[in-house]
Amino acid sequence: MKVLITGGAGFLGSHLGDAFLAKGDEVFVLDQAKDFKIRHNLGNPKFHYFQDSILNEEILDSLVFKTDLIYHMAAVVGVEHYVGDPYNVLNVNINGTQNVLKAAFKYNKKIIFTSTSEVYGRNPKVPFSEDDDRVLGSTRIDRWCYSTSKAAGEHFCFAYYKMGLPVVILRYFNVYGPRLDKIDVGRILTIFMGQILRNELLSVIGDGMQTRCFTYIDDAIKATVAAGLLKEAEGKIFNVGDEKETTIKELAERMIKISGANTTIKYVTKESVYGDSYEDIQRRVPKVELMNNILKVHAETSLDDGLRTTIEWFRAIGKNF
């Protein structure tokens, strides 16, 4: 089988490429990113890397034509982007997704759209099931542009599904592991990681009682592969995550303990980190029955084991990442 992964040089995409190569499949990657996360595959004759954008419809069309299964992972991700350049977030995530869907529909290729737990917004009803309401803040708050862009992508997916295109939607909950992000940017774990490597105080926003459910990359990839291979997944949304809640304060404490770093926590305001265009979410917890029962995947990696592996990887890579 030939698999196209848009955004395949990123964190999730690079691990997904590894998984399909391990199965003996041929992998095509379309991504603007540098090749650091996929460099280990560049010599593999079954791995093909095209450094370009999903906004380039010509190359996208040619890659969709020659492949059998499409994973659309390319997106602008990261809080610093939501509040720093909302136009780019909306443009790439909405218009780029339309390009991918249009090409997939043209050649009738199954597409797996990688969405996010952000689509639930600040809905206080937890845990979130796949059909729960979206509750967002004002459109004046840049923080919500990413959630909106991914939700728009989901609507386009279902529109094409009604026209006969095989589609699956995956909503990830705080996936982490080796190759996650560059230290100090992106997600909370890599921000803490940068501070740990420098023995700085870990910056916890507010009182640190916000909770997240952290999902190790290996578990997320098992669900992602299954979504592409199972016919019964088509036309459905799946939460991909671990049900165990962890406060941000506890995450910081665990990372300090596991890493052995000589540091502690400092508490900061969200305004001092992200300015006035950010709203935090108090709890984000998935229901995962559909992932368990249809994809036949359970989140099995403990947070301590996953953090240990991730911290070891970042320590080995250091600032070369």
pLDDT digits (tens, 9 = 90+) for 74-98: 998 877 666 778 999 999 999 999 9
- What tokens appear for 67 in the block? 């492949």
Please give the pLDDT value at position 16.
98
pTM over 0.85: yes
- On whether the 2-175+214-243+284-299 domain is CATH 3.40.47.10, my answer is no
Assess whether 216 carries a catalytic annotation.
Answer: no
d(C-alpha 53, C-alpha 159), whole Å: 24
Picking from 57, 65, 54, the residue whose alpha carbon sits closest to that of residue 13 is: 54
From residue 91, alpha-carbon distances to 94, 124, 151 in Å are 6, 29, 14
Please give the pLDDT value at position 276.
65
Catalytic residue chosen out of the listed positions 71, 82, 146, 216: 146
- What is the full per-residue pLDDT of the chain (321 aa) written as tens digits? 999 999 999 999 999 999 999 999 999 999 999 999 999 999 999 999 999 999 999 999 999 999 999 999 999 887 766 677 899 999 999 999 999 999 999 999 999 999 999 999 999 999 999 999 999 999 988 889 999 999 999 999 999 999 999 999 999 999 999 999 888 877 899 999 999 999 999 999 999 999 999 999 999 999 999 999 999 999 999 999 999 999 999 999 999 999 999 999 999 987 767 666 567 788 999 999 999 999 999 999 999 999 999 999 999 986 555
Residues of 133-166 as b/e, b for ≥16 C-beta within 10 angstroms? Answer: ebebeeeebbbbbbbbbbbbbbebbeebbeeebb
Please give the pLDDT value at position 221.
98
d(C-alpha 30, C-alpha 73), whole Å: 10
**Alpha helices by DSSP H, the chain:** 11-22, 57-66, 79-84, 86-90, 97-107, 145-162, 188-197, 217-229, 248-259, 270-274, 289-293, 303-317
Please give the pLDDT value at position 184.
80
Region of residue 106 (phi > 0: left; psi between -120 and 50: alpha; otherwise: beta): alpha
Please give the pLDDT value at position 183.
84
Q: Is 256 helix (H, G, I), strand (E, B) or coil?
A: helix
